[in-house]
Chains A and B, each alone.
Chain A
Amino acid sequence: MSVTSVEPSGARPRRLSPSRFMIYAGLFVAAVYYLLPLYVMVVTSLKGMPEIRLGNIFSPPMEITFQPWVTAWDSACTGLYCEGLKVGFWNSMKILIPSVIVSIAIASVNGYALSNWKFKGSEVFFTILIIGSFIPYQVMLYPLVIIMRELGIFGTLTAIIVVHTIFGMPILTLLFRNYFAALPVELFKAARVDGAGFWQIFLQVLAPMSLPIFVVAVILQVTGIWNDFLFGVIFAGTENYPMTVQLNNIVNATQGVKEYNVNMAATILTGAVPLIIYFLSGRYFVRGIAAGAVKG
């Protein structure tokens, strides 16, 4: 080559230029701003009531005590009962596990049928399902209450599971339909030529290669159902109140002294399940959001 190659010249770029510094400083401030409430919660939950009354909410505990956590879990009062949050925790589990399994089982088959076994009107059916996800929940509450009453299951575990399954259907079906539609259609054809039927193709060919989307669906449903308050308070019935409802009853108790440390511990306990799910599967969590957004 006749052209002389261009050597790098001038000062080596500095690691931390002023603009970089500004960005990091901004991010640091934002992080502190959002972490501060969590810090206050953790610190307060580890203090005794006398120390809280001093009013220094940002100061670390002088004497660490786990008693508020034990109280929150075991003996905090909600109305007349003083059995702590554990009742709500197990109620939430009883609601969560069947709801997640039933909603995903139905939605995955829906998505499979809508992408691979198109029938006359399947597009219309799908469109109606998607429109369902744009209607505010509150609009449907009263009709649903009547439906549940007529079915004779209002105020039971069955009712809340049915409600969660219904409301999970649009987004989960969309998720599964898009995932199955993106799989090579030749796989489906090959399985049909091989003689596999509707369920054999789904269970033996497509489902085993769709683990990522099932994980995404589980994460979406677990966080959604666990954090639900509205449906729980309306449909579950008093003895099945989920953890979120119980938390509200503990924190908003009007009698007696406000036990801030117990309230803080109870709040952290309630938020722990989705947080743990998030930390364990953050990668899939992000992928799920992206899958729903881009391929829609």
Chain B
Amino acid sequence: MNKHNVSVSVQDLSLSFGTLTILKQLNLDIQEGEFLVLLGPSGCGKSTLLNCIAGLLDITEGRIFIKGKNVTWAEPKDRGIGMVFQSYALYPQMTVERNLSFGLRVSGMDKAEIDKRVARAADILQIQPLLHRKPGQLSGGQRQRVAIGRALVRNVDVFLFDEPLSNLDAQLRAELRVEIKKLHHSLGNTMIYVTHDQIEAMTLADRIAVMKGGVIQQLDAPHEIYNRPVNRFVAGFLGSPAMTFLDGTITAANGGPAVNINGTVVPLGRYGFAGAAPEAGRPVTLGVRPEHIAVGGASPEPEADRRHWVTDKVTLLEPTGADTIVWSELGGLPITVRVDAEKHFHVGEPFAYGLDLTRASLFDKASGDRL
């Protein structure tokens, strides 16, 4: 990693309130112009980390650099950051124009320059007609645009987003998500974005940091996080419907490793182990995403078919519109399969499905780590 291109660097950051530790020895380097998403369930410390980067929380240990400058103890305004909040946090008694210019006014900038910057931000965000309104007269989407504008006028290096779309309805959320992505493309700023929504994370991020319990579990490109989760938590947190987890034990079959799930043996010959293949008898969990399971029977050339085929019964159907989720069983454990909605199945019928083990995940049952 080229040190010159690091925009935000968090080094050994810890934060605790009394005996309660929120963040533990956290390290994170964010590249210039990168869109990094901090993803995790509520209480995982993602918003806390963002507040530490913003300078709104005093950290217990560690250092924070922005653009190579040590800002660990700098005031928020001196860090070159702009922040967008979930509740918009617009000043209710000020017009949109005065909301945008507030930060510039308190810094004592001259009027002409303020007007120029406000006009530019209003132009980028298409909020010129709203400039003389008060926040109370705006819709949720318009308010969030103004909130983004407030960061924009200050010409900051880094944008920090704290769950900016969580208060909006689903349709507006999808629209603004696209707008934020476009904004990132056109501005090219570094952006750090906190969310608990995996769709937002997958669509927006260059890299995702999945957090749990104040620790970054995995920091990687969305595709990697999705396909090669480092542990069971990451695997289960991303994906909807969720990954199916099947508990079993390692056995040897036909000379290669396999996993025995309540008597059903699934060979792991095609699975890419992270290290050496685990020894027989080890308890493991096999994770399979519903979309990585094929239906319709084995290919005519079994040699070319890299799947492992299982036949069981349909136990439940969940039509979602574009797809149907078929519930079946493997070794008595429930498994979900995503199929095209045009294919019709019926509860109780025999159901053949093929597991793609090259795209499956195998975890140690005790530690949850990827094998």
Partner-B contacts on A (CB < 8 A): 184, 186-187, 189-197, 200, 204-205, 208-209
Contacts and interface: CB of A to CB of B under 8 A. Distances in A.
Given A189-B56, A205-B91, A194 B106 contact: yes
Contact of B89 (A186, A196, A209): A186
B77 A194 contact: yes
Interface in B155-177: none
Contact of B85 (A190, A197, A208, A209): A190
Interface of B: 51, 54-56, 75-77, 81-83, 85-87, 89-93, 102-103, 106-107, 147, 150, 154
Nearest to B84: A190
A192 B92 contact: no
Given A191-B102, A197-B106, A200-B106, 15 more contacts: A184-B87, A186-B85, A186-B87, A187-B89, A189-B83, A189-B89, A190-B150, A192-B55, A192-B56, A192-B75, A193-B54, A193-B81, A194-B77, A194-B103, A205-B102
Given A184-B87, A189-B56, A190-B150, A195 B93 contact: no
Contacts of B87: 184, 186
A191 B56 CA distance: 11
Contacts of A204: 102, 106
Nearest to A194: B103
A197 to B, nearest CB: 8
Contacts of A184: 87, 89
Contacts of B85: 186, 189-190
Quick one: which of A184, A186, A187, A194 has the most chain B CB within 10 A? A194
Contact of B91 (A187, A192, A193, A195): A187
A189 to B, nearest CB: 5
A186 B86 CA distance: 8
A197 B102 CA distance: 12
Contact of B106 (A186, A187, A196): A196
Contacts of A187: 89, 91
A192 B93 contact: no
A193 B56 contact: yes
Contacts of B91: 187, 190-191, 205, 209
A202 to B, nearest CB: 12
Given A184-B89, A186-B89, A187-B89, A194 B150 contact: yes
10 cross-chain pairs, A with B, having the tightest CB-CB distances, nearest first: A195-B77, A194-B103, A186-B89, A190-B89, A186-B85, A208-B93, A193-B83, A193-B76, A196-B106, A187-B89
A193 B77 contact: yes
Contacts of A209: 91-93
Contact of B82 (A193, A200, A208): A193
Interface centre among A186, A192, A205, A209 (most CB of B within 10 A): A186
Q: Which of A189, A190, A196, A208 is the most central at the interface, judged by chain B CB atoms within 10 Å of its CB? A: A190
A190 B55 CA distance: 12
Nearest to B154: A194
A70 to B, nearest CB: 47
A205 B83 CA distance: 17
10 contacts: A186-B86, A189-B51, A190-B85, A193-B54, A193-B83, A194-B77, A196-B106, A197-B106, A204-B102, A209-B93
Contacts of A189: 51, 54, 56, 83, 85, 89
Among A191, A192, A193, which residue has the most Cβ atoms of chain B within 10 A? A193
Contacts of A195: 75-77, 103, 106-107
Nearest to B51: A189
A194 B102 contact: yes
Nearest to B79: A193
B106 A192 contact: no
A189 B154 CA distance: 16
